Structure 1
Amino acid sequence: MFVITFLHWTADYLLSLVKMVQNREVGWITIERKTGKHMREQQPLWKKLKLLLLFNPLTEWLDTTHLMRLYLHHTAIEEGKQEATPASRKRIKAFVDFYHINMNDFTPSDITAYATFEDFFVRAHKPGSRPIYRKDDPTAAVIVADSRVVAYEAVAESKKIWIKGNDFSITNLVMDKQLGPKFADGPVASFRLSPQDYHRYHSPVSGTIKLFRSMPGDYYEVDPIALQSQVDILTRNARDYVVIETKEFGEVLFVAIGASQVGTVRYALYELWCQLKSANGQ
């Protein structure tokens, strides 16, 4: 009886693995906020295996070598150039089909309207598709994007559970010994985007931009497997940040961190501010 039960369990387990691979559900386990259901992120199996190979205690030292960093940087730049070409639009349909993206949430919803894959990658939400939570209540901070969210009451807690890099700290993140300590003991929220997600961030709070800074860096993966390695990904990757002055929360630090497929971050309001200064001869 025990043998039969064990064989049934083994068969069910193997079949579930096959189903996961078929559905590309081999990524990190997350909780769907609306239903509370546990589910795995969709991810190509080859990418999962690559992450496991590169970010494990035996091989992760390779990730910090100068040669590997140059390779990652070169690969990200070249892929970005390719995605900006008209020929790249051929990838859009396969990408939408692979990740089951509902284009009715976006504008334009017709994938043939995008001139390049890059244009598609930064597609905009259709008005009304993502209602803002408590829109008229400035005391409510909101989630900034379609993303996987983790939040902690203090930076120290995030280092115990989520971020394992040896040298992670807010000071190292912003590379500013005066600014960093202001946020060193504060609560922290991480909004991690997967390739299929809407790749635009929105401000989590209402306020005034007090400071902006852009920082060059590497292009490591930001998958949880990588973040839980000893490689200091968040303080090595290219990133931009703003400090937002608010009445309700005081100063809020918002950091947008690049990754292997996201080498550039653009702040729309900052670009508009620069244009206005230029127009006014400042």
Structure 2
Amino acid sequence: MKRHYTSALSQAFGKLASKEHSPKVQKIINTTYVRMMGLDMSEFESPESYSTLNALFTRKFTTMRPFSHDPKCMISPCDSLITECGTIHQNLALQIKGMSYSVDGVLGESIGAEAKKAVHDGVFVNFYLSPRDYHRYHAPIDMTVLSATHIPGKLYPVNIPSLKKQVDLFIENERVVLECLSNEGKRFFLILVGALNVGKMEVGFEPRIDTNTVLTPSHYAYADLQLKKGDDFGCFQMGSTIVMLCEPGMIDLGVAAGENVKFAQTIATITS
């Protein structure tokens, strides 16, 4: 595939965001960004401590947020706005109200037909991370990662106006698909969707995935890759979206579209 202009723009932004300036200049850049975007830095180091704007984007907590360790509680994997959620109707989930996308399409060709079918008629949640949000993502439950697939693509914006006008946005955009199992053996997927100015989507356990650089798909299977609830497994280098697709009967969702959620907040109950 050829590189799309949105990828080139995002690469350029990524280089600017990763540039180190003098401490005085960097302090001005960081504090200005924090003020303009309204970032809450109470759980993080002071803005001037970050050596680049990208380091500020991908900041880590000074102290881990507490969350429920009840194995029946699923927590939000990120700080975000839930743009849509609900039931997958056979093979269709909502991108935004009135606009559907194909679950099979967003999962891509490397995921087997039976694995795709497992989440038909299940539950989906779309988590949108704005530029002001904490950009790291975490395991929502104790889980086994079966595979990670990188699907190159475009990098259209994923904000509400774009969701309303760009058909098949989640399928058009670059993404990383994580195929997972719960402790109860239920299949679910976490799909990291790239967006404009997201220079990179980092997957901590799979350094071979190099987003917004490699133009050919890649697929990696694992024999015994375990993540514990709350584990940090990577970050977006700007705001973007995570799509979660769950097998029918796996969860009882406790949130609704339009809600803002925080990483570590309980969002669902594991039912089986």
> Aligned residue for 2:17?
83
State the distance in 2 between where 1:114 and 1:144 align: 24
TM-fit CA distance, 1:160: 8.1
> Aligned residue for 1:152?
85
- Counting helix residues as a fraction of each chain, which structure ranks higher? 1
- Structure with the bigger RCO (C-alpha within 8 Å, sep 6+) is 2
Q: Please give the residue correspondences for 1:157-168 in structure 2 after superposition, counting only pairs within 5 Å.
A: 158-159=93-94, 161-162=96-97, 164=99, 168=101
- List alignment gaps of at least 5 residues for structure 1: 1-65, 275-282
State the distance in 1 between where 2:39 and 2:157 align: 22
Contact 2:96 2:163 in 1 (8 A): no
Higher CA-based Rg: 1
State the distance in 2 between where 1:253 and 1:125 align: 26
Root-mean-square deviation (Å): 2.7
Which of 168, 175, 178 lines up with 1:242 in the alignment?
A: 178
Contact 1:244 1:251 in 2 (8 A): yes
TM-fit CA distance, 1:70: 3.1
State the distance in 1 between where 2:189 and 2:178 align: 6
Q: Please give the residue correspondences for 1:194-205 in structure 2 after superposition, counting only pairs within 5 Å.
A: 194-205=130-141
TM-fit CA distance, 1:74: 1.4
SS in 2 for 1:221: coil
TM-score by length of 2: 0.66
> Aligned residue for 2:165?
229
Which of 54, 66, 69 lines up with 1:131 in the alignment?
A: 66
Contact 1:219 1:263 in 2 (8 A): no
State the distance in 1 between where 2:134 and 2:119 align: 28
Contact 2:13 2:199 in 1 (8 A): no
Q: Given the alignment of the two structures, is residue 172 of structure 1 paired with residue 108 of structure 2, yes or no?
A: no
TM-fit CA distance, 1:81: 1.0
State the distance in 2 between where 1:216 and 1:160 align: 19
> Aligned residue for 1:143?
76
Q: 1:153 to 1:104 in 2, by over 3 A?
A: closer
Q: 1:148 to 1:249 in 2, by over 3 A?
A: farther
Residue identity opposite 1:189 in structure 2:
V
Q: Please give the residue correspondences for 1:115-130 in structure 2 after superposition, counting only pairs within 5 Å.
A: 115-128=51-64, 130=65
- List alignment gaps of at least 5 residues for structure 2: 209-219, 221-272
Q: Given the alignment of the two structures, is residue 94 of structure 1 paired with residue 29 of structure 2, yes or no?
A: no
> Aligned residue for 2:151?
215
Contact 1:172 1:180 in 2 (8 A): no
State the distance in 2 between where 1:197 and 1:226 align: 18
> Aligned residue for 1:192?
128
Residue identity opposite 2:196 in structure 1:
S
SS in 2 for 1:228: helix
SS in 2 for 1:213: strand
Note the alpha carbon deviations across 1:44-74, whole angstroms, 9 max, x for none.
xxxxxxxxxxxxxxxxxxxxxx99x833221
State the distance in 1 between where 2:95 and 2:168 align: 14
TM-fit CA distance, 1:161: 4.9
SS in 2 for 1:242: strand
TM-fit CA distance, 1:163: 6.6
Q: 1:230 to 1:72 in 2, by over 3 A?
A: closer
Contact 1:142 1:204 in 2 (8 A): yes
- Counting strand residues as a fraction of each chain, which structure ranks higher? 2
Contact 1:72 1:260 in 2 (8 A): yes
Q: Percent identity?
A: 24
Note the alpha carbon deviations across 1:87-113, whole angstroms, 9 max, x for none.
38352111101122222211xx12222
Q: 1:74 to 1:161 in 2, by over 3 A?
A: closer
Contact 1:217 1:239 in 2 (8 A): yes
State the distance in 2 between where 1:169 and 1:263 align: 26
Contact 1:234 1:257 in 2 (8 A): yes
